[in-house]
Amino acid sequence: MIYEYTTSSSAETIELGRRIGERLRGGDCIAYIGGLGAGKTTMTRGIAMGMGLEDDVTSPTFTLVNEYRGAGLSLIHFDMYRISSSADLETTGFFDYMDEDTVLAVEWSENTADALPPGTVTVTLERTGDETRRITINGDERFADIGD
């Protein structure tokens, strides 16, 4: 199913992310599509909040991967911007992180499309103005009716 939402500020994108995060389960993978400044890291900040994780989310641009460990679920946040081969992907530990109490969130997932697990939820963010975004979720019923 495809669900479409719009947000008018980064705060609204964080809130939509929070609602997504509340609905995530271990083994889920969120794959983002959307260019520079679309709001992928911003939404991940909300997802972490919704998962009950307290650490501030920062961009994994330089580290390639950031880990947020919780008592229950953990969130592993990747930036695949500079990943162009399966050998590169191995170095991020992508496959080692897949676990029953882990959620993966992948920026620039188009670079690793072949490696995404079955059931991956695709979140597409499109910049429709300075402060507005069209956000499309391709996933199951959990993500229906989570807008305002």
Ligand X SMILES: Nc1ncnc2c1ncn2[C@@H]1O[C@H](COP(=O)(O)OP(=O)(O)OP(=O)(O)O)[C@@H](O)[C@H]1O
Binding to ligand X by residue 4, rule CB under 6 A?
Answer: no
Q: Which is nearer to Mg ion, 27 or 136 (CB)?
A: 136
Which among 35, 92, 90, 20 has a CA at the least distance from the CA of 60? Answer: 92
Binding to ligand X by residue 133, rule CB under 6 A?
Answer: yes
Binding to Mg ion by residue 41, rule CB under 5 A?
Answer: yes
Q: Show the beta-strand stretches assigned E in the chain.
A: 2-7, 29-33, 65-68, 74-79, 102-107, 121-127, 133-138
Looking at residue 117, the DSSP 8-state letter turns out to be P
How many residues lie near ligand X (CB under 6 A)? Answer: 18
Binding to ligand X by residue 59, rule CB under 6 A?
Answer: yes
Q: How far is the CB of 9 from Mg ion (least distance, A)?
A: 17
d(CA 106, CA 116): 9
Structure tokens at 117: 């697990």
Binding to ligand X by residue 9, rule CB under 6 A?
Answer: yes
Binding to ligand X by residue 128, rule CB under 6 A?
Answer: no
Which among 138, 126, 134, 144 has a CA at the least distance from the CA of 6? Answer: 134
Among the residue ranges 31-39, 85-93, 105-113, 121-129, the one whose residues contact Mg ion (CB under 5 A): 105-113
Binding to ligand X by residue 120, rule CB under 6 A?
Answer: no
Phi/psi of residue 114, nearest 5 degrees: -70, -20
Binding to ligand X by residue 112, rule CB under 6 A?
Answer: no
Interface residues toward ligand X, by CB under 6 A? 7, 9-10, 12-13, 34, 36-42, 59, 107, 131-133
